[in-house]
Every structure is written in structure tokens, then in C-alpha cells.
Structure 1
Amino acid sequence: MKAEIISLQDVTYTYSEENTNIKPAIHNVSFSIGESEWVAIVGHNGSGKSTLARLMNGLLFPQKGKVRIFGETLTMENLWETRSKMGMVFQNPDNQFVGATVQDDVAFALENNGIPFEEMVERVRRSLAKVNMQDFMNSEPHHLSGGQKQRVAIAGAIAMQPRILLLDEATSMLDPQGKEEVLSTVRQLREETDLTVISITHDLEETLLADRVIMMNQGEKYVEDTPKGIFERGQELVDLGLDLPFAMKMSKLIKAQGISLIAEHMSEEELVNDLWTSHFNK
């Protein structure tokens, strides 16, 4: 793994410390994330993944254990400096907008951080171009589609030139086209820079883009593996309350009809190529 950029060491967090009968939302969780890695954190509702997001961005602090970011334990003293190097994109893009226009919204955090005007204008222009939203600079955010709104939210995050981009269920409210727009944008950004991406999600299809997957279950780290290793667990994922990707479910149905496949495929492209090569291209 590359140089460590985030680590959790035996972290525990309970929402009500006074009530000892309440189970911790996070219990003794440890993992590390390397610089420029894409790590997906998945789990069913209530598994603890959203609490992990709050612990990593300093909205919460662990009652036990340590959260280390950029080599330092996260504290109230270094919280704002640490956050300035992290970009956040949340579930509902409408909750993130504060500007009257797209360019105003992207400029908001820059202005609050005292970025000189000339540099701010250039960062806004450059970040919107990176997410292919440069033609919407003067548009009102509420007139945009869901995917466009999230791309603007990503532009606002990357305008701060962060080292880490944290996506907290950022595609869960989007239609398939909007989801593809957002994930394609993040994938391209990562290819062009050394950006570290952490995606918190319950959508297993989203994990196909990750280098590594951390699966949460009932507040504990259940397993840590590559996407391929995770998907090989098959029915076990369903039993844990997760939905298999469409291509895997279709693969199972096709095999149940007596049609042979090389494997139960994770992506639709792999499934189509398998069917074409094995059964139609003869």
C-alpha cells in the first residue's frame, strides 16, 4: 500500500454514552487507506458506515481509539486545517447549495478561506471544466438535474484542491444516468491527479471502481478485500442485506436456464462479452 493518508485504530463510538445498554454504532474498527487509493466502505443501513464518514471528517470524535489523517491524530485543534484538505460530497445535493448561481456556489468555500479573487475565479473555472459543467456557470442550481447538481458539488470540493474526496452516499438519490455521470467524473479526476477517494455506499455496483472494499456489519468491520473477492461471496452478501449487482443477478438467471458462462460476472460489459464470445460469435 502507498503512504498512509487515513487510519482508524480500534475506534469505538456510541451515540449515547450514558446508556450502557445501547450497542456501539462503531466497535473496535481498524483500517488504513493509502494515498491515491479508492476505497469503498459498504454495508446495509445501520451497519455503521455513515458513522465512519462522520468520524473521518471530524463531525464526531471516537470515545475509544484514534483517527489519524495525514499522519496526525484528528483533534479539535487541527480539525479545520485537516478539513481544508478534504472534499465532501453528500447524499442530497440540494442540501449543499448556498450560492444563487453555479459559479457562486463553487466559489463559496474559496471565498471563506480567503483565496485571492483572481485565483478564485481561475479555480472556479478550472474545477467546473473538470466536471464538464463550464457551460452552466450562471445557471441556478435548482434548475439542474440530479447528476449535474452532484457534479457541481464535486467541483466545489475539488476547487479547494483537496488530497481526499469523501463521497457519503453521493449517488444514492440519482437515476442511472446521473449516477454514471458522477462516478465517471470521479474516475477521471482520480486518473488525472493523486486524489484519494473514499466512497461510503450501500450500492455494490459502485464498488467495482474501487481498489479495495471494506464491508461493515452491525458496527464492526466484517471483511476487507478487493471488489472481486467481495463479489465471490455471492449469497452471503444478500444475507447481509446487500443487493447484488444487476450483472451478477442476470448471470445467475442465465446459468439457471442451462446456458454456460465462464463466471458470474460483476459488470454488464463482462457478461455481454462472455455471451457473445461463447454462444454467438461462432
Structure 2
Amino acid sequence: MMSEILALQQVTFAYPSDETEVRNAVDNVSFSITEGEWIAIVGHNGSGKSTIAKLMNGLLYPNEGNVRFMNQLLNDDNLWDIRSQMGMVFQNPDNQFVGATVQDDVAFALENNGVLHDDMVKRVQQALAQVKMQDFLDHEPHHLSGGQKQRVAIAGALALYPKLLILDEATSMLDPQGRNEVLQTIQQLREETGLTVISITHDLEEAILADRLLFMNNGQKFAEGTPDEIFALGDTLLDLGLDLPFAMKLSRLLQEKGVPLIGLNMTEEELVNDLWISNFNK
């Protein structure tokens, strides 16, 4: 039986304000993630996604409710121990580098955690191999592409042997190639190691790769389910400021033009297969 890694239980948080009426940035939100699962938290700007990320790693504490990691209540006494078991990759890869070379950067957090030199060298090489960046050990980070930088950032997180990897808009500043590099890396890591992932994103092409989606709206959990279940809401998502995957929008347009399709497809591969089966394989 898979164990629960992280849980938010009836969490409410509001930023300090001088206004009489204060809107909760996160309003009575509950969810949990189990070992090996990939959850994507999606929603429009201001929906509460970024605040949830800060609540998960203890940058903020709830006004009400609690956050639990590996069945431990997150608090000041265990904050640093819990953070050491979480890997985080942020939006801008250029803001994450502190080392003169790729291997220096991956080793930075290990040095801060007092890892012995021989073990540190092993972990750096292992982590870079996991993201297929082992040939760039001595490269200067600013010479790397955006996708390569994010893969190095992921390696830095993996070197700490985290139980949970949190991607906070980690692909939003990348070009399509860089974005695909990062997402393929995450998918492969999950297949090979069973890595547990939470991705906070507005990119629906990224979200459909997750096992489960959490759709936030105005600080509240509006819907939760598989990608199929969430995107089946269709126009409701559009009304709330969330777009639909490109392949799904194209499927709808084709059906409106009379092109027969089996269903609404979420990926381009699914759409191509549907077109082939429905129109060319008769």
C-alpha cells in the first residue's frame, strides 16, 4: 500500500492587509499526494497556486488547518528537516545557479548539508546522469540552453535524495524544445525511480501528463480528478479563465466542421490516431 507523503488539511491563508475585508488567498483547501504520484495544480493567475507552493515548503504557515509531510505536522521545529526531503525547481533557471560550473552547482546544496566529499562526488555524477547532463560537468551554466539549465536544477534537487519533487512553474520560461526536455526528464525519472511529483503550472500540455489535477479558482479547490475528468468540464474551464489543451480545441473545431472523430483528444498523438482511425482506416 502506497504511503501518504504530503497532505493539506482544511488549509486557509490570507496575506496581511489594511483592508476591512480580506480575501483568503487559499480558502479551506484539502488534498493529499501518495508515494509515486504526479499531481498538477492548475488555475488562472491569482487562483492560489503559488501560495499553496509556499505553504507546502513552510515559507508560509496556514492561518487555519495544517500541512503534514510524511505524517509529521509542519512546524518550526522540523521545518529544515522536512525541507531537506523536498526538492524544488523554480520558474527562472538563471536565478537558481550559484556555482561556477555545472558540477559545482549540483554540489552546492550537498556541501551545505555536510555531505562527505566522496559521497558528494558520487551523488553529483549520479544526479547528472539521471537527467542526461553527465557530459556537462565542467561547463559554465550561462552557456547552457534553458532546458539544460532546468535539467541541472532538477539534478541539484535529486542529489539530495528527496522524497518529493516540486516544480513551481518550472517550464513557463522555456521554449518548446526546452520544455519538452524537462518534461521528458520528469517522465523518465518517474518510470525509473518512482519519483513523487507536484507541478504547479498554467501549462495544460504539462498538466495532462499528471495522474491527477487540482483545479484552483479564487483560492478554493474547484475540481479534482484525472486529466480526462477535469478537461471534460470543457466550457466551464474556459469560463473560469483556464484554457483547454491545443489538441482538444482542435478536435472540437474539426467536429464542428463535420470531421468525424471518436472523441475529444488531449494530445496531438491521440488526435492523429483518432483522425487515422475515423477517416483513413476504413
Q: Same fold (TM over 0.5)?
A: yes
Looking at structure 1, the residues matched to 37 and 143 of structure 2 have their Cα atoms a distance apart, in angstroms, of 34
Q: Contact 1:131–1:152 at 8 Å: present in 2 too?
A: yes
Which residue of structure 2 lines up, in the alignment, with residue 10 of structure 1? Answer: 10
Looking at structure 1, the residues matched to 142 and 235 of structure 2 have their Cα atoms a distance apart, in angstroms, of 41
Q: Contact 1:8–1:29 at 8 Å: present in 2 too?
A: yes
Which residue of structure 2 lines up, in the alignment, with residue 148 of structure 1? Answer: 148
Q: CA RMSD in A?
A: 1.1
1:89-110 CA-partner distances (Å, limit 9, x unpaired): 0010111100011110000000
Looking at structure 2, the residues matched to 213 and 181 of structure 1 have their Cα atoms a distance apart, in angstroms, of 22
The one-letter code sitting in structure 2 at the alignment partner of 1:54 is: K
1:221 matched to 2:189: no
Per-residue deviation at 1:19? 4.1
Looking at structure 2, the residues matched to 105 and 261 of structure 1 have their Cα atoms a distance apart, in angstroms, of 49
Which residue of structure 2 lines up, in the alignment, with residue 98 of structure 1? Answer: 98
1:127 matched to 2:127: yes
1:32-53 CA-partner distances (Å, limit 9, x unpaired): 1111111111000000011000
Q: Contact 1:163–1:194 at 8 Å: present in 2 too?
A: no
Which residue of structure 2 lines up, in the alignment, with residue 198 of structure 1? Answer: 198
Where do 4+ consecutive residues of structure 1 move more than 3 Å? 17-20
Of 9-18 and 119-128, the range deviating more from structure 2: 9-18
Aligned to 1:214, what secondary structure does the other structure show? strand
Instruction: Say how many residue pairs are matched.
Output: 282
Per-residue deviation at 1:275? 0.7
Which residue of structure 2 lines up, in the alignment, with residue 174 of structure 1? Answer: 174
Per-residue deviation at 1:228? 0.5
Of 87-96 and 236-245, the range deviating more from structure 2: 236-245
Of 150-159 and 190-199, the range deviating more from structure 2: 190-199
| TM-score between both structures, scaled by the size of structure 1 | 0.98
Q: Which runs of 5+ in 1 are unaligned?
A: none
Looking at structure 2, the residues matched to 144 and 22 of structure 1 have their Cα atoms a distance apart, in angstroms, of 44
| TM-score between both structures, scaled by the size of structure 2 | 0.98
Which residue of structure 1 lines up, in the alignment, with residue 186 of structure 2? Answer: 186
Looking at structure 2, the residues matched to 221 and 37 of structure 1 have their Cα atoms a distance apart, in angstroms, of 19
Which residue of structure 2 lines up, in the alignment, with residue 160 of structure 1? Answer: 160
Looking at structure 2, the residues matched to 20 and 138 of structure 1 have their Cα atoms a distance apart, in angstroms, of 55
1:77 matched to 2:82: no
Aligned to 1:209, what secondary structure does the other structure show? coil
Looking at structure 2, the residues matched to 100 and 66 of structure 1 have their Cα atoms a distance apart, in angstroms, of 39
Aligned to 2:214, what secondary structure does the other structure show? strand
The one-letter code sitting in structure 1 at the alignment partner of 2:192 is: E
Of 270-279 and 155-164, the range deviating more from structure 2: 270-279
Q: Which runs of 5+ in 2 are unaligned?
A: none
Of 12-21 and 120-129, the range deviating more from structure 2: 12-21
Which residue of structure 2 lines up, in the alignment, with residue 21 of structure 1? Answer: 21
Which residue of structure 2 lines up, in the alignment, with residue 275 of structure 1? Answer: 275
Which residue of structure 1 lines up, in the alignment, with residue 233 of structure 2? Answer: 233
Q: Percent identity?
A: 67
Looking at structure 2, the residues matched to 93 and 146 of structure 1 have their Cα atoms a distance apart, in angstroms, of 7
